[in-house]
């Protein structure tokens, strides 16, 4: 129970940090992809960010977000609750 509450608080904090704070119009470029785990099956509800914008993957692991940087090369993900990776 306590771990779930901590995860909820951390997720809310991440969303607050990632909320857009732009005050002027900027050109954005689409960043699209799919988060998978060990194959083709997508992972739902993963937070994906480019450091400025945060989105969640859909039920198929797909995401799309606007990025102000045409040359952006990286996105970052968080491991969703209940998902573990074999080592």
Asked whether residue 87 is assigned to any structural domain, the reply reads no
Residue 58 lies in domain: 26-77
Rounded CA-CA distance 65/86 in Å is 29
Strand partners, 64: 32
Query: Is the pLDDT score of 38 beyond 70?
Result: yes
Contact assessment for residue 15 and residue 33, using Cβ atoms and an 8 Å cutoff: no
Asked whether residue 47 is assigned to any structural domain, the reply reads yes
Asked whether residue 83 is assigned to any structural domain, the reply reads no
Quote the pLDDT of residue 11: 55
- pTM for this one? 0.61
CA distances from 42 to 25, 30, 39, 47, 55 (A): 33, 20, 8, 13, 15
The pLDDT > 70 percentage for the chain reads 63
Strand partners, 34: 62
Q: Which two tokens stand for residue 31?
A: 């960043």
| pLDDT one-digit tens code per residue, 44-77 | 888 998 888 889 999 999 999 988 877 777 888 8
């Amino acid at each position: 129970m306590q771990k779930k509450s901590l995860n909820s608080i951390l997720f809310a904090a991440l969303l607050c940090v990632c909320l857009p704070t732009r005050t002027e119009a900027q050109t954005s470029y689409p960043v699209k992809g799919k988060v998978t785990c060990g194959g083709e099956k997508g992972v739902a509800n993963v937070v994906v960010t480019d450091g400025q914008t945060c989105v969640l993957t859909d039920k198929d692991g797909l995401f799309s977000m606007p990025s102000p940087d045409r040359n952006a090369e990286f996105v970052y993900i968080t491991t969703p609750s209940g998902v573990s990776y074999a080592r």
